[in-house]
Structure 1
Amino acid sequence: MKKWIKQHPDVWEFIKFNILSNIATITNFIVLWIGSNLLFTSFSNRTFRWLIFKYSISNGGLNGFLSFLLAYVIAQIVNYIIQRKFVFGVQNDISKTLHWYILTVIVAGIISIVLPPYTTAIFQTLGISLSFAQICANIINVIIQVLINYPMMKFVIMK
């Protein structure tokens, strides 16, 4: 295995990135569940519409928006710490790259907050319950985040 890792360091780095991203993914799902089932339940019957954000009551309302937002923010904090230390092993000055990470998180975050009502609704039309539809929407969000975050971390933030 050591020989293979030495021969394919970029592939190994990507594998580590994805495996260790699961810590942030698990964090995301736990915080999503806590938010939607404990913290923000009183907002379930409130529609949330602001600019590009459209969360109707049928796909979680304000509860859904706040839960996805909180889950995303906490997961990204966890992800930054883990990727910095265990995948990229960089010692660069955080103050010189943190703005790039924040910008990356904001772009991926906007996509991850705008998309769920639409993907949740699609899954619900397939007969999936709201709770499971939100989980499926979150899986799509995680995939999008990897497609955005890995190149930015590898080539800009953790360079």
Structure 2
Amino acid sequence: MSFKQWTEEHQGVWEFVKFNVLSNISTITRIVCAAAGAAIFVNALGLTQPFKFLIFNYSDPGTNGLGGFLTFLVAEVLAQVVNFFVQMKWVFKSSNGYGDAAWKYAILAVLIVVVNLVLPGYVTSFCQNSFGMDAALSSTIASVANTLLAVVVSFPLLKFWIAK
């Protein structure tokens, strides 16, 4: 059986594989934008004054203050825009209009960003307090939990609601 035949016969599995592999394009976008943002907002412009807004707390030392927040914001928005187009056209080959899909994807992206900001603290604390894990292992488990949750939530919402 050829690869093409296999992908046609197992379209759902193939979409899931493409979803996970091609999501790395947005990850690369996020990393590049974060490096550029830090160079611009933190190093060049010196926007390191403490910043706190809603659930975003960039007031502690080492968070780079306002520059850290702007770096996060720009990198995340650009990564999500890239991911939207990658998922719509390359993974799900959606014929759904961008106008109809974009607002749905924006809701999904905001949900995932909020969960990614809030969940790690709870998972890390749970691992350390309940199982006595060190910071490195508990942070790794929190990162894995975040990633798995994002996949479990994102894939079906993209497939059946956003990019149908």
Normalised-by-shorter TM-score class: 0.7 to 0.9
| 1:49-81 deviation digits (Å, cap 9, x = unpaired) | 222221222233222221111111001111111
Corresponding residue to 1:110 among 110, 114, 127: 114
Show structure 2 runs of 5+ residues with no match.
Answer: 129-134
Identity among equivalent positions (%) equals: 36
| Cα separation, partners in 2 of 1:118 and 1:36, compared to 1, 3 Å | farther
1:48 aligns with 2:51: yes
Partner residue, 1:130: none
SS at match of 1:49: strand
Residue type at the aligned position of 2:19: F
Under a length normalisation based on structure 1, what TM-score does the superposition of the two structures give?
0.75
In structure 2, do the counterparts of structure 1 residues 108 and 27 end up closer, same or farther at CA, with 3 Å as the change threshold? same
1:155 maps to what in 2?
160
- Choose 1 or 2 for highest CA Rg: 2
- 8 Å Cα contact 1:54-1:117 kept in structure 2: no
| RMSD over aligned Cα atoms | 3.0
Alignment check: 8 A CA contact 1:48 1:62 kept: yes
Q: Distance in 2 between matches of 1:158 and 1:95?
A: 11
CA distance in 2, matches of 1:97, 1:38: 32
Work out the CA distance in 2 between the residues paired with 1:28 and 1:3. 34
Residue type of the partner of 1:146? V
Contact 1:65 1:113 (C-alpha < 8 Å) held by counterparts: no
C-alpha displacement of 1:34: 0.7
Deviation at 1:118, TM superposition (A): 8.8
Check 1:50–1:98 CA distance in 2 against 1; reply closer, same or farther (3 A cut): same
State whether residues 41 and 47 of structure 2, in contact with CA within 8 Å, keep that contact through their aligned partners in structure 1: no
> Unaligned regions of 5+ residues in structure 1, if any?
127-132
